[in-house]
Amino acid sequence: MNNNEGKGELEAGKVDCNETLEIENIEVDLILEAIWRRFGYDFRNYSKNSLTRRLNTMIQDIDEKKLSGLIPKILYEKNFLPTILHHLTIQVSEMFRDPLFYKSLRENVIPILKTWPIIRIWCAGCATGEEAYSLAIVLQEEGVYQRCLIYATDVNEEGLRQAIEGIYPIKKMREYSENYHKSDGKGSLNDYFSANYGSAIMDQSLKKNIVFSTHNLVSDSVFTEASMIFCRNVMIYFNQKLKDSVMDTFAESLSAGGFLSLGSKENLIGCRAKERFSEFDPKNKIFRKKFGEVTNG
């Protein structure tokens, strides 16, 4: 084989690789369109790379050979929706994740919220509920939980069921306890759950002011007039168009002077609602809605 022949084979291989990628992109687009039109769940503005990885994991889990093989299941199997949501929505959470954020919450945000007669907090994308319970613990230790109402929402009903139950693997509590102490917890995390046969059951007192509910950030509008919104480590999976839409919803949902908390890798850069917020604690990704802004919720 001469060098030109070898070059031709390499170029052919490159074309094949590009064609495979293009076919995969078409398959993903068709799958997302089918989900939207069949079930009303819109993933079309999620990060394409992240969705492609999750869809490939899905076909492996259900023993399907090609991505396009999902389309008949979406169209004709009514009970396939839970499988879709299980794979495409992120249900990864932990208690007191990013402890320094919770420390700042205790020291800088709650003293301001204490001056408000009623404190409404929206945990958007609460997954399996660990963040909502972490927040309840902080509010209780800071003496304001009686005046608080936490709305914890997610699109995934399976995750919400676990959140409502408040039952987690006991083996995770050691890691959560370390996070709790780093966040300047005032006691022991053990005070807030009971252990039973390898599970940690969150104390009922934490649930009394938490309302768990389904809400779709992609398609649903303003949820409540909130003093603070938690949406941490959710928007990293959205493209810019969807980020803009969600940030507009948050800006409309927050009271003037209300707080917005994002994840450690998230920010307002490039969002059209950026000018409606000021940086309150940029290191811990806490922002504050500017005064003079009107809430329409």
229, 260 in Cβ contact below 8 A?
A: yes
User: Buried b vs exposed e over 37-76: b needs ≥16 C-beta within 10 Å?
Assistant: ebeebbbbbbeeebbbebbeebbeeeeeeebbebbebbee
For 84-131, the pLDDT digits (tens) are 988 888 777 899 999 999 999 999 999 999 999 999 999 999 999 999
Return the higher-pLDDT residue of 29 and 294.
29
Domain 99-289 classification at class level = alpha beta
Is it the case that residue 251 has pLDDT exceeding 70? yes
Report DSSP state, residue 44: T
Q: What is the pLDDT of residue 151?
A: 96
Q: What is the pLDDT of residue 3?
A: 55
Q: Report the pLDDT averaged over residues 129-151.
A: 97
> Which range is least confidently modeled, 16-25, 86-95, 178-187?
16-25
Predicted TM-score of the model (pTM):
0.82
Token digits for 226?
A: 């909130």
Return the higher-pLDDT residue of 24 and 162.
162
Give the start-to-end residue ranges of the domains of the chain.
Answer: 3-88, 99-289
Q: Considering the chain, what percentage of its residues have pLDDT values greater than 70? A: 93
Q: Report the pLDDT averaged over residues 230-244.
A: 90
Q: Name the amino acid, one letter, at 195.
A: A
The rounded mean pLDDT for the chain is: 89
